[in-house]
Amino acid sequence: MLKQTEGIDRGTKRRIEEEAEKRLHQSLPQSQEKLEGLRRSLQVEESDSIGELEELLKGSKLERFSQLAKELEKELFEKPDVQKVI
């Protein structure tokens, strides 16, 4: 019984990971487009963070991507021209 439960658990986790990866790949072009728009509206030193975000997104490192995006959002919060892009 325990082996069956573990097998079901592994299968469920695998399906969840597959679905998350599928959704990530579907949203990747839109996310990259938004990042590129943001890059164009930033100064050179700020746009370095966008490059790092793009690399994290391509590498599916979503936790670090989310952290860096939040940090960047805090930095850019008071820039009205950038807020339009965000």
| pLDDT tens-digit profile, the chain (86 residues) | 777 888 888 889 889 888 887 887 787 788 888 888 777 777 766 677 788 888 887 777 888 888 888 888 787 777 666 566 55
Q: Which two tokens stand for residue 54?
A: 């793009």
pLDDT of residue 86: 53
* pTM exceeds 0.85 for this model: no
DSSP H or E segment with residue 37? helix 2-40
pLDDT of residue 85: 55
- For 33-47, the pLDDT digits (tens) are 888 877 777 776 667
How many CA atoms, within 13 angstroms, populate the side-chain half-sphere of residue 1? 0
Residue type, 23: R
Distance of CA 15 to the CA centre of its chain: 20
Residues 6+ apart with CB under 8 A from 76: 42, 46, 82, 83, 86
